[in-house]
Structure formats: C-alpha cells, structure tokens
Amino acid sequence: MEILKVKTKIILPIFIGLLFISCSEKAKDIFNPTADNLIEFSLSQRTYKMEDVVKRQSQIRVDSGKYLLKFSTEEIRKDTTIDAFNADFFEMNVDTLFYVIISDTIDAQMIIRRDSVGIQEAEIESGYMTLRFINYTNKPSFFELTLPGFTKRVGSTKDTLRIGGQIPPNQTVVFQRDLSNFLYAQPTNQPFGTTRPGFWLRGKIYLQGGTFGDSVRVLTNVSDIKFRRIKGRFKPFELGVKQQTIKNLLSEDISEFIHRVTFDSISVRMNSFTTIDLPIRLKQFRVRGIFKSGRAPITLMFGDKDYLDTMIQKNSNVSLNFSNVNTNINQFLSQIPDSINISTTLILNPDYQSGEIVSNDSISFSFQVDAWSRFAVNEADWTDTFDIDLSQDVRKKLKNAKDGKVIIYSTNQVPMEVNLIGLVTDSLYNPLFYLTKDEVARNDTMVVLQGAITNTKGEVLAPAYQTIVINLNQSEIEKLSRGYKLLQRFMLSTTEKRVAEVSAKSKIDLRITGRLIIKLTSDDFKN
C-alpha cells in the first residue's frame, strides 16, 4: 500500500505535466488562427443636380436640334368660396302708398324686389324684413300681412311667415321679422311672378273709420340676407379682387443661366374651375414679377395687353396655353423676378343667366409657367475630391488582402449618359491608379453611367439604376492602402441627335464603396 502511494506521487506530477504540454500546443493553434475577414468602407457619396451643371455657362449653347431643358414655376393657386354672396347684393325694398277707396279695409299687396334679381327657391341662413308704416290720418289702424313664399318647420307643422300689429294715429311704427332658417319658394299664383320677380306680401290694412282718400304708407326692406342655397336669375355680381404671390423658383440657382438662354418654347398655363351653376368671368387677369430690390414690377403681356379676360363656364374647367409667340414671357423670365403675383377680379354670372348657387360653392384658378430651351452641352465636366478616410490599422490590413472590389451605385434621373473617371492619389495628389475600370468595354480609366429612361417625346419615365463592380488586383489593393484622395471627374455631352426633357431639379445620385477580403493572423488578436 505504501509502495502504491509512492508510485502515485511520482506518476501524478508527470501526468499533469504532460497534460499541460498537450494543452499548450492546442492553445497555440487557437491563438494563431488563419481565417478570412470582410472589410467594407465608403469612398464617396454625393448628389449632383442638373442645375449645378447647366449654370456652367461656358459649356452651354442654345441649339435647335439637341436636348431640351425644362424649367417650371410652382403652381400659383387661388381658391375662393361663394359665401360673400350676401346682404348687399340681395337688399330689396319697395315703397307703397295705400288709399282707402270703398271701405275702411285696404286690400294690400306688394312685391319686394330688386331689379335684375329673381329668386325662385332659397334656403335662408339669416336676414331681416323691416316694415315701416306711416299712418297719415288721426284714426287708429292695424294690419295683417302674409308672405306666402316663406315657410319654416316648427315641430311637425309648417308655418307661413306672418307680420301684424297696431299703427296709432299720425305715427310711424317699425316692425321687423327675422328670416333666419326660412325656406322660400315663389308661389305659382304670385302676381307678376315672371315679369316682376320678388317677395310677395299680401294681406289687409284696417283703418278704423277711414274714408275715401285716407292713406297709409308702407316702406318695406329686406336686408342683411344670406343664403345657404339660392336658385333663380341674377344680375352680374362682383366677388372682388383675388390674388396670390409665390416665390419664383427660377430666380435661385439657375438665374445666371437664364440670362444666356432664349427659350425655344414656353407654356403659360392657366387653369380655372368652378362648382357654381353659373359662369364666372376672370376680369383683368394679371401676372406681375416682383423684385426684392424695390425695382418697379414687370408685367406679363398677353398680346398687346397687360391683362387677360376670360370666361369659365358653369361647372367646368378651362385651361389656356400661351407661348413666347403671343406673350413676352421670354423677356419676363429673363428679368428674373424674385416672386410672381397673379390677380384678377371675379365676376359671377356676367351674362345674367339663371342658375343655382350653394354657399360652399367655390371658384379656383391657377397659373403656372413651363419654359423649355433646346440646348447642347459640349463636354461639360466637373471634378470632386474626396478624402479616403481609412485608419492606419485598416491600411495595414489591406496588405494582407486576398481579394478586392470597388462597387459603384448610380441612380441617374438625367436623360444623358455621364462618363466617370475615378483616380486614387496619395496625400500630395500623385496619381496611384484609376479605380474606374470597365472590363466589358475594355476601358482602364472610365465607366459610363447610363442616362434615364425616356419615351419618344423625350420625357423621363424612370431613373437609370446601375451597379458596377470593379475587381482590384493585388497591385491596386496595395496602392489603395497608400491612397488618401479620390478625384472624381464627370463628363457630360449631348452627342446624340435626340430631344430629352431635362428638369433643373433632375439629379444623379452616386455612391462608391470598397470591399476587401483579408487574411487574419495572430497579430489581429493581440491587444
């Protein structure tokens, strides 16, 4: 037993030692790995708008057979409701003198009207009817009058509007009724209903003890009346001057370019719409350019006039188009006003027609300028410089790269091809290598970004999306590890004999990334 204990004491340390040695060898394998690792980094990212290109004036020339540049102002829109169609327009009155002829009872009938206004039906929102009685005798009197066309629901009954009261001798008395929420329909038996339309009052005036020649005067007035709905025949009604002003987008980044361009075609579009069952006249529709400097405004000429008159037929939409043939729009735009103001006087029913109006009916009109210039670009080019922002640790790892790629992502809304050259340099701008290689086209310095997709009219249908993958060899990867600048040069030319619509806001989104696979060593795991 003692012998066994001694052997155990000797063998156990030896076994543990051997085990430690074995584990140490395995650990060496673990902490000295060989594995691949992916590194991704951004080289450049930027958006280029067409206006940044076209304002390089030395590279632009007007050409009748090349590309088409389009500028547009925002739509200027003015809406107005018809709720102004109220009191003043529909004020009506009548002055009637009633005489005693046979007995002391006077049969009184009146048509309260206003020339050129005929109301067939109406829903009254508010208003007043005022009757001023003058008793010229020393005899007391009283009256009872009904307005057959005016009714109101009170519970389950339908009440007709009535007015009555006493008129003391030799006095003047005023009576007033609120017309709010009454409905009106012209009675079919109303006297002179067609030839003298208006509100019919009928009833009796009693002059106690009255004799032949005695008289009572009645002055009747309808005022402050406002309708929810009205149907009839109305005279022209002026809704006042309506105007709107917006900033002129053409006065911003491309203002220098506008000076040099003669627009080949300009469309001045005016759209108007009304929900009213009566026509509307836009009277003296004017377009003015306003300057922040305080310079006198300039006016858009329509032919030989500085205004336009036009008609919007009932429940309709009208669109008028003008060009630089019948307007001075070229001159107007070249002055580059800071804002554009439109104004017009609205006249409802200028031709005295019959129709129906609802208080929430509306009138709207808008104005927009689209200007096109056919132009050519002769190798317009621009250069951007980007810092290659890689840490020293990453640059060191690049030397162990097994594989490398540069990926170019392009979204081009401009209907023109763009040539892109990307040059990597050191910190002193000494060239190292071109990362823009097109292996398909066998071009070692340049890639082509496709233009936007257009239809036969040259209108852009969709952007051109492109992903270009460029493989890097070992030499180029090593040079990239020493690169500190990326110079991107773009070249754009209108070499094709085609017309394409180019908006100043069209843009090219460009992003370039790098992707490298490197081999990790034990040094990558050291603290």
Contacts of 478 (CB under 8 A, 6+ apart): 398, 399
As a whole number of angstroms, the distance between CA 158 and CA 160 comes to: 7
Check residue 278 and give its pLDDT.
82
What are the structural domains, with CATH classification, of the chain? 35-61+378-525 (2.60.120), 63-83+236-376 (2.60.120), 87-234 (2.60.120)
Please name the residue ranges forming H helices in 298-391: 329-334
Half-sphere exposure of 150 (CA within 13 A, CB side): 23
pLDDT by position in tens, the chain (length 527): 444 444 444 444 443 343 333 333 333 333 334 456 788 888 999 998 877 776 665 666 666 556 677 767 777 777 777 664 554 567 788 888 988 887 788 888 888 877 767 888 989 888 899 999 999 999 999 999 999 999 998 888 888 999 999 999 999 999 999 999 999 999 988 887 777 788 888 999 998 888 888 899 999 988 888 888 888 887 887 878 888 888 876 656 556 666 666 777 777 777 778 888 888 888 998 999 999 998 999 999 988 899 989 888 877 777 777 777 888 887 887 788 888 888 888 888 888 888 888 888 888 878 777 777 776 666 667 888 999 988 888 888 887 787 889 999 999 998 888 889 999 999 999 999 998 987 666 778 889 898 898 888 778 899 999 999 999 888 899 899 999 999 999 887 665 556 677 777 788 999 999 888 876 665 655 55
pTM over 0.75: no
Half-sphere exposure of 426 (CA within 13 A, CB side): 6
